[in-house]
Structures are given as structure tokens and as C-alpha cells.
Amino acid sequence: MRPVRHPARPRQPLGPVPATGAWRAEEGVGNRRFVHLGPLHLEAGGKLPDVTMAYETWGRLNERGDNAVLVLHALTGDSHVTGDAGPGHRTAGWWSEMVGPGRPIDTDRYYVVAPNVLGGCQGSTGPSSPAPDGTPWGSRFPYVTVRDQVRAEAELADRLGIGSWALVIGASMGGHRALEWAAGYPERVRRLAAIATTAQTSGDQIAWAHSQLAAIRADPRFRGGDYYGAADDDGPHVGLGIARQIAHTTYRSAAELDERFGRLPQGGEEPLGGGGRFAVQSYLDHHAGKLARRFDANSYVVLTESMLTHDLGRDRGGVASALAGITARTLAVAVDSDRLFLPEQSARIAAGVPDGELRVIRSAYGHDGFLIEFDQLGPIVADFLATDDDALPDPEYVI
């Protein structure tokens, strides 16, 4: 699919930017549910004394408890996988085309669980959450790894009575956690779908992340991470916005940006000497402003750093050994134009597991193809699940 080139349109101002876009209870709970896990000991040392996990569910758990699917979101995603925007949910579901009745992940058949990641800002414990003294954690929030995040999700599964998953599926950062689930809890993952992701963060990915972290920390309004309580427009939204702009260029392909925007001026104003700018600059500014209104700068730092820890082979004899130990039937999906998580990284996953297959999405959109190319991704996932004879519907349900 090729992107359509549209005439540049002026972006409307969105009003003041809050110091943090973290979810607050006064906005409404929406479809969130919460589980309090208690203390969580961390891989790098120390512990979080009281962890809360926010999550959403769709469908019903059958009597055997074997029809559960775990959906894991990407860096700035959340638990609102499917559904409308409304109180408690500032945006509509990010994967509504994939999850729901009759959709590829069919909620008439499967019990779907989607947690907000540990360290996030949409209900699970993170830097914007209260520390034991009642004030936000801020700069005091500890370093968490992908394995810490998965351990919290495993405890959540325990509380929900889910012994094993019919499928664990995640894309991008969510794919890191999906792979860690399969390597760390092989007896609990029957099928694994790792989409547009990698088994080990590469030097290139670390380099892209470094500049994003630097942009946030260089913003004087970041205040070392202790900006909660600041007035609107006095938070680190400039640094967070620049981080998002850097990231967004890796989420889309060079071909798409050139085909869609090229050198079009924004609003007809000539950039050279006329005080105008290019349409692609306006596009990136728009996405920067949108993220600052719904996300938290500290969570962006914490989660980005957790992605840098991702190495499936750490303490497992290397990546090849870790992949070889995965017992789940595995689907690796690559986007052919992805310049963040390269197709060869998906191929490495598929080739390294004992029962793996590689499927490739053809897209002009780059990494974000997993959020756009549902006409390709949907059938791939549906076909992968169609062979899951262990998760047939059961007429008796757990209430």
C-alpha cells in the first residue's frame, strides 16, 4: 500500500499543555480494573514497596481457564486496546481492528487481558504514582527492566487465575515483553506472536533512544524528574515533544514521509525567507503536542530505559540459547519498511525458536505498519490462532 499525498493543512492550536499527561483518577476509571500486588523486588536491586497494575479485559474466561490472550502494548500505548474514547480514556482503542467480537483476536472465543505496563502512566505504578510518602515518585522511581515488567504481569495473571495463555502477543516494546514471557515462563505460553520487535536491543536502537532521553533531560522544566505540581505549560513538554519527533521519524519510512509531504510548504508559506516551514515539520510538531497531552515525561524515560535492558540472552547463555529454549509455537511478524526494528531481527526470532514462522507485512508506512496494515496483519494473526485446538469455546464460564 502506498501513502496518499494530501495538501498541507494548518494545524489547530490545542491549548495549554499540562505538566504531565499521566492519567488521574478524577478523569474517571473508564474500563480499567486494578490489582494491588504488594512489593516487587527488582532485577537491578531494591524493590517497589506497593505495586498496582491497571488492566482491561474483554470476553470471558472459560471454565478450563485456557482461552486467555495477553495483549502487550508499545511504548506510549496503554491498556485501552479496543473501545471508544470517553471518561478515563482520552483516545480510542489503538488495536480495535484486531480485538473484538468476530475480529482476528475474537472476544467471543477468547478472554483478552491488556495491562498497562509497570512504569507507565495510565494506572499502573509508575513515576507519576504516589510513593510511600504520598507524593509522586518522580526522580525517585527505581530502574526497572523488561523482566521486572513481565514479573509484575505474571503476578497479575496469578491474581486473575490464569495459569497459561493461549496466546501472548505484542508489538515493538510489547514484543520485548512477549518474548520475555515465552523465555521466562515457557510453561505458561502456548503461542507467541512477536511483531515488529527484536530479541535483543541493538546498538542502533540504543543510539536512537539516547537522543530522545537527552532531549527530555535537557529541558529545564524537567527539573530532574520532579515537575509534578507545576502549572500548565510549565512541564517538560518541549523535551518530551522533541523525543517524540525523533521517535516518530523511526516509526515511519523515508519513502512515506517523502511521498506524503515531500517539500510541501505548510499553509502555502514559503519556508525559504518567507517565515514559513515545511509541512512535515508541522506534522512532527502536531504529534509532539498530542503526546505531551496524554503521556508523562518520566514514564517515557523509564520505559525507554527498560527497552535498553532488553536482552533475551542475558543470564541464559546468549540469545541463540534463549530462543532455543522457547517452547511456544511462535509467529514473528516483520514490516518490510521498518527502519527501527529491522526485518532481519524478526527473521532471527523465527529461525531461532524450535517452532517458529516468519510473516512479512508489505507496507510503505514503516514500523507503524503494525498499527495501520490491518488488512494484512489481521489475517496473519487469525490464521495463527486458527490452529489453536486447545482454546475451543466452553459453554461454562467463570463469573
Render pLDDT for 291-300 as a digit per residue (tens, 0 to 9).
999 999 999 9
Going by pLDDT thresholds of 50, 70 and 90, the confidence category of residue 139 is: very high
Q: Please check whether residue 142 lies inside any domain of the structure.
A: yes
Report the pLDDT value the prediction gives residue 14, as an integer from 0 to 100: 62
Is residue 338 part of the annotated active site? The answer reads yes
The answer to whether position 11 is within a domain reads no
CB atoms within 10 A of CB 41: 10
Mean pLDDT rounded to a whole number for the chain: 93
- State whether residue 48 is helix, strand or coil: strand
The amino acid that residue 329 corresponds to is: R
List the domain range (segments joined by +) for residue 99. 25-391
Has 73 been annotated as catalytic? no
Question: For 138, which DSSP code?
Answer: G
Q: Which of 39-48, 241-250, 302-311, 382-391 has the lowest mean pLDDT?
A: 382-391
The answer to whether residue 154 sits within a structural domain is yes
Instruction: Report helix, strand or coil for 53.
Output: strand
Indicate if the pLDDT at residue 3 is higher than 70: no
Higher confidence at residue 396 or residue 53? 53
Cα–Cα distance, 269 to 215 (Å, whole number) = 29
CA 203 from centroid of its chain's CA atoms: 20
**104 CB-near residues (< 8 Å, 6+ apart):** 98, 377, 378, 379, 381, 382, 385
- pLDDT value at residue 115: 98
Residue in 282, 337, 367, 388 annotated catalytic: 367
Find the helix or strand (DSSP H, E) in which 354 lies: none
Grade residue 15 by pLDDT with cuts at 50, 70 and 90: confident
What integer pLDDT is reported at residue 276 of this predicted model? 82
Residue 20 within a domain: no
Q: Mapping DSSP to helix (H, G, I), strand (E, B) and coil, where does residue 331 land? A: strand
Neighbouring-strand partners of residue 48: 40
> Of the residues 106, 296, 311, 338, which is catalytic?
338
In a 13 Å sphere around the CA of 5, the CA atoms on its Cβ side amount to 10
Give whole-number Cα distances, 123 to 54, 244, 283, in Å: 5, 21, 29
Query: φ and ψ at 90, to 5 degrees?
Result: -70, -20
Catalytic residue among 172, 253, 299, 306: 172
Give the integer Cα–Cα distance in Å for 377 and 370. 7
Q: Which grid coordinates are listed for 230?
A: 507545576
Please give the tally of structural domains in the chain: 1
Is position 296 annotated as part of the catalytic site? no
Q: Which whole number is the average pLDDT over 134-158?
A: 98
Domain membership flag for residue 291:
yes
Q: What is the CATH number of the domain that holds 40?
A: 3.40.50.1820
Q: How far, in Å, CA of 277 to CA of 280, rounded?
A: 9
Instruction: For residue 51, tell me if it sits in a domain.
Output: yes
Is 240 a domain residue? Answer: yes
Q: Using pLDDT thresholds of 50, 70 and 90, give the confidence band for residue 274.
A: low
Is 343 within a domain? yes
